[in-house]
């Protein structure tokens, strides 16, 4: 299978000296749906931010065989869409149309192409007809889908999604899960939600203290209660 992301011996320290990642080796193939799980402070978000170049350690992360660096960040971010945990970090325009159109406009699309991209993307996330709505008046579930739309409008080949089910009620969670499951792109999902991961991901990578503690089929890892408990992902039994 074609490699989408290749990470080799990746370590990362924050400016205060705290080590967030230590010797990470990870390959994600095109079309996979992979969950990054682990306790708070394990390094999950730090690793995710390396996947589209927000954080960089030159030469250690490759996208489709190309090292992520200063010279290709625009290309990287058009190929890898990052969806933040809080949708208000991505929704800042007066209307949903303006937010979803922001990426295509900056890519230099024609007016017709922009309108087509917005319409198609909103259909994909179940928000058809929301173009004139204010994103600030949407429900949290609608905001999360609108935030995903702002990334999908640039036709990425991979999505990195941070805690998609946080703050959602059960109905909103399963609506969002259905949207994500239907998207024909490579997906990396940072989540503590065992139900969502079971429904959405075929592979689970557990991080703890900046290292990979487990990597395997989701069905096997999610069934291992001792492993999950050992990494603060399930209650004791």
Query: pLDDT tens digit string along 56-103?
Result: 876 799 999 999 988 999 899 999 999 999 999 999 999 999 999 999
Give the chain's mean pLDDT. 93
pLDDT of residue 118: 96
Q: 29 pLDDT exceeds 80?
A: yes
Q: What is the pTM of this model?
A: 0.93
pLDDT (tens digit, 9 = 90+) per residue, 148-206? 999 999 999 999 999 999 999 999 999 999 999 999 999 999 999 999 999 999 999 99
Mean pLDDT calculated for residue range 6-15: 93
Domain ranges, ordered by start, for the chain: 3-230
- The pLDDT value given to residue 14: 87
Give CA separation, 142 vs 87, 97, 133, 137, 172, in Å: 9, 14, 11, 9, 8
Stretch 26-38: mean pLDDT = 97
Q: Specify the pLDDT at position 234.
A: 82
Phi-psi region of 129 (alpha: psi -120 to 50; beta: other; left: phi over 0): left
Say which CATH superfamily domain 3-230 falls into.
P-loop containing nucleotide triphosphate hydrolases (3.40.50.300)
SS3 of the chain: CCEEEEEEEEEEECCCCCEEEEEEEEEEECCCEEEEECCCCCCHHHHHHHCCCCCCCCCCEEECCEECCHHHHHHHHHHEEEECCCHHHCCCCCCHHHHHHHHHHHCCCCHHHHHHHHHHHHHHCCCCCCCCCCHHHCCHHHHHHHHHHHHHCCCCCEEEEECCCCCCCHHHHHHHHHHHHHCCCEEEEECCCHHHHHHHCCEEEEEECCEEEEEEEHHHHHHCHHHHHHCCCCCCC
Q: How many residues can be counted in the chain?
A: 237
The pLDDT, as a whole number, for residue 58 is 66
Mean pLDDT to the nearest integer, 206-228: 96
């Amino acid at each position: 299978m074609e490699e989408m992301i290749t990470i080799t011996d990746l370590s990362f320290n924050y400016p205060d000296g705290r080590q967030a990642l230590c010797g990470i080796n990870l390959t994600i193939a095109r079309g996979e749906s992979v969950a990054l799980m682990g306790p708070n402070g394990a390094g999950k978000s730090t690793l995710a931010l390396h996947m589209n170049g927000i954080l960089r350690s030159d030469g250690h992360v490759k996208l489709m065989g190309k090292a992520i660096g200063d010279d290709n960040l625009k290309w990287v971010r058009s190929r890898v869409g990052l969806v933040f945990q809080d949708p208000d970090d991505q929704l800042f325009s007066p209307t949903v149309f303006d937010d979803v159109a922001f990426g295509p406009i900056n890519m230099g699309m024609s007016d017709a192409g922009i309108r087509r991209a917005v319409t198609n993307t909103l259909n994909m996330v179940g928000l058809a007809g929301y173009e004139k709505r204010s994103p600030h008046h949407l429900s949290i579930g609608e905001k999360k889908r609108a935030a995903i739309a702002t990334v999908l409008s640039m036709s990425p080949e991979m999505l990195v999604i941070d805690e998609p089910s946080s703050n959602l009620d059960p109905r909103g969670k399963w609506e969002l899960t259905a949207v994500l499951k239907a998207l024909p792109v490579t997906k990396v999902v940072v989540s503590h939600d065992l139900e969502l991961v079971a429904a959405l991901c075929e592979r689970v990578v557990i991080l703890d203290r900046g290292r990979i503690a487990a990597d395997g089929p989701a069905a096997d890892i999610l069934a291992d209660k001792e492993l999950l408990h050992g990494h603060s992902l399930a209650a004791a039994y």
